[in-house]
């Protein structure tokens, strides 16, 4: 099974999001966090998180990019349980069963999105708020394009 993990190439996430995720966290889209927002409430760092951020499942902070990784069933179940607890604590889900159902949907969506890509592929998201709700578009950068053509410069004294 494939799932996404946060990745950080530079420190920009630390400056652009209300809360930035740590590198290497399992991550989901997390668009649900903005379900009550309006164009008026989406300003500054909140707007940046809405527009371009994946939700890390440890810090519940945002990351601009995620990388496709492997996940096993036990890790998936832990993520689902943890996310369900978050829904109860943070959003007042009416019951743990309802929260668990919603968490499983979020996790399944990300698995479905990741299954189309090779391990190591990078994903980015672009969200917009339309009259009929939140729309998400995902872009991918295949592993060979993401990693193999990078040049590393080293300074050497003569």
pLDDT tens over the chain, length 158 residues: 999 999 998 999 999 999 999 999 999 999 999 999 999 999 999 999 999 999 999 999 999 999 999 999 999 999 999 999 999 999 999 999 999 999 999 999 999 999 999 999 999 999 999 999 999 999 999 876 555 444 333 344 43
Matching residue, tokens 């872009």: 139
β-strands 122-130, 65-70 pairing = antiparallel
Give alpha helix (H) positions in the chain: 12-16, 44-52, 73-91, 96-115, 143
Tell me the C-alpha distance between 49 and 46, whole Å.
Answer: 5
pTM above 0.85, yes or no: yes
Report which secondary-structure segment, H or E, holds 136: strand 133-141
Matching residue, tokens 């096993």: 72
Matching residue, tokens 């946060």: 6
Tell me the C-alpha distance between 102 and 86, whole Å.
Answer: 11
């Amino acid at each position: 099974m494939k799932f996404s993990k946060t990745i950080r190439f530079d420190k920009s996430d630390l400056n652009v999001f209300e809360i930035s995720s740590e590198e290497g966290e399992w991550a989901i889209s997390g668009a649900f966090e903005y379900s009550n927002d309006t164009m008026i409430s989406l300003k500054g760092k909140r707007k940046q998180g809405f527009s371009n951020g994946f939700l890390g499942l440890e810090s519940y902070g945002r990351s601009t990019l995620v990388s496709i990784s492997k996940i096993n069933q036990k890790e998936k179940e832990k993520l689902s349980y943890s996310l369900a607890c978050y829904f109860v604590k943070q959003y007042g889900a009416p019951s743990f069963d309802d929260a668990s159902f919603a968490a499983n949907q979020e996790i399944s969506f990300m698995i479905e999105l990741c299954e189309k890509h090779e391990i190591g592929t990078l994903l980015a998201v672009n969200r917009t708020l339309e009259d009929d709700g939140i729309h998400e578009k995902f872009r991918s950068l295949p592993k060979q394009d993401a990693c193999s053509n990078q040049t590393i410069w080293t300074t050497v004294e003569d």
